[in-house]
């Protein structure tokens, strides 16, 4: 199988992933790479429907285990339908979130536990792991300010507030301290400085 490169972006809500993803995509395309940008949950017809259920604030009775299984269902779909074929074609796949989100949000913040989440993550992806993961690290207070600045309506998980986001952040940092693939990017600095950190990590992996 011709192997492409799989890069994922992670962080709490409002950490600035979308901006950085767009900049990274443009940079890689200009360098001649065939780039596919995706997001999780979503990115397929089935996955976007699941995303609608997951983010709908009206679904406030959803239990944590149902939430976990829905994220994994969306992930199984996008992995088989989109990510694996793209990697086989040698593309650079850049994803707005992947299974480390489940580790931080459902495993750590929802307290479903690392073992359950790790097992389901590997089942849903059939053991596919990113080549590198950029964790955009920022405080929940700063992230909230950014989200409010954008004036968007908050979704079901954002509505859980800064204490939930603090637990998510803690989960991410714990993961980064034990998994070499996960690189912590200081996302409190300027857009350009954040992008420079990201490019450095990607250049450790491919020639750009
Ligand atoms: P986003 O596309 O705006 O980042 O929204 C996705 C939301 O879903 C965000 O609050 C993070 C959350 N999420 C999880 O809780 N677990 C997951 O596995 C994934 C992929 C996302």
Give residue 163's pLDDT.
96
Mutate to test the pocket of ligand 1, among 64, 67, 105 (most ligand atoms within 8 A of CB): 105
Mean pLDDT within 1-7: 83
Q: Model confidence over 59-75: pLDDT tens digits?
A: 999 999 999 999 999 99
Nearest CA to ligand 1 atom 10: 157
Does residue 184 surpass a pLDDT of 70? yes
Nearest CA to ligand 1 atom 6: 41
Pocket of ligand 1 (CB under 6 A): 13, 39-41, 71, 97, 101-102, 105-106, 157-158
Give residue 150's pLDDT.
87
For 65, residues 6+ apart whose C-beta sits below 8 A from its C-beta are: 112
């Amino acid at each position: 199988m011709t192997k492409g490169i799989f890069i994922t972006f992670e962080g709490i809500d409002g950490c600035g992933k979308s901006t950085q993803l767009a900049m990274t995509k443009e940079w890689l395309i200009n360098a001649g790479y065939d780039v596919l940008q995706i997001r999780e949950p979503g990115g397929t017809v089935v996955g976007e429907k699941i995303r609608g259920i997951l983010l709908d604030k009206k679904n406030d009775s959803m239990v944590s285990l149902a939430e976990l299984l829905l994220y994994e269902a969306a992930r199984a779909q996008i992995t088989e339908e989109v990510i694996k074929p793209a990697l086989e074609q040698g593309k650079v796949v850049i994803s707005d979130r992947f299974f480390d989100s489940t580790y931080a949000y459902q495993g750590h913040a929802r307290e479903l536990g690392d073992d359950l989440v790790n097992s389901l993550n590997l089942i849903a992806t059939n053991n596919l792991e990113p080549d590198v993961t950029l964790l955009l690290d920022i405080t929940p207070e700063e992230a909230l300010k950014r989200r409010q600045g954008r004036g968007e309506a908050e979704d079901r998980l954002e509505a859980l507030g800064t204490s939930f986001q603090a637990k998510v952040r803690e989960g991410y940092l714990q993961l980064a301290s034990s998994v070499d693939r996960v690189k912590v990017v200081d996302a409190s600095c300027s857009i350009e400085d954040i992008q420079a950190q990201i490019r450095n990590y990607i250049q450790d992996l491919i020639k750009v």
